[in-house]
Structure 1
Amino acid sequence: MEIVLQFLPFIAIFAIFYFLVIMPQRKRQKEAQEMIASLKINDVVVTNGGVIGKIIETREKSLIIRSAEKSNLEIARSAVVGREIESFVKETK
Structure 2
Amino acid sequence: MNPILLQAAGAQSSWMSFLPIIAIVVVFYFFMIRPQQKRQKEVEQKRNALKAGDRVVTSGGIYGTIKHVNERDFVIEIADNVRVSIDKNSVFATEDSSKK
1:42 to 49, 53, 62: 53
TM-score, scaled to structure 2: 0.81
For these two proteins, the number of residue pairs brought into alignment is 86
User: Is 2:94 the partner of 1:84?
Assistant: yes
TM-superposed deviation, 1:4: 1.8
Out of 27, 32, 50, which is 1:16 matched to? 27
Judge conservation of contact 2:47–2:93 (CA < 8 Å) in 1: no
Q: CA deviation at 1:36?
A: 1.2
* TM-score (norm. length: structure 1): 0.87
2:5 corresponds to which residue?
A: none
Quote the sequence identity (%). 38
Structure 1 stretches of at least 4 aligned residues deviating more than 4 Å after TM superposition: none
Given candidates 33, 39, 53, the residue that maps to 2:64 is 53
8 A contact 2:75–2:86 mirrored in 1 = yes
- Which protein has the larger Cα radius of gyration, Structure 1 or Structure 2? 2
Higher relative helix content: 2
Measure how far apart 1:55 and its partner are. 0.3
**SS state at 2:18 partner:** helix
Displacement of 1:3 in angstroms is: 2.0
CA RMSD for the aligned pairs? 1.3
Q: Which runs of 5+ in 1 are unaligned?
A: 88-93
Q: 1:62 aligns with which of 73, 76, 86?
A: 73
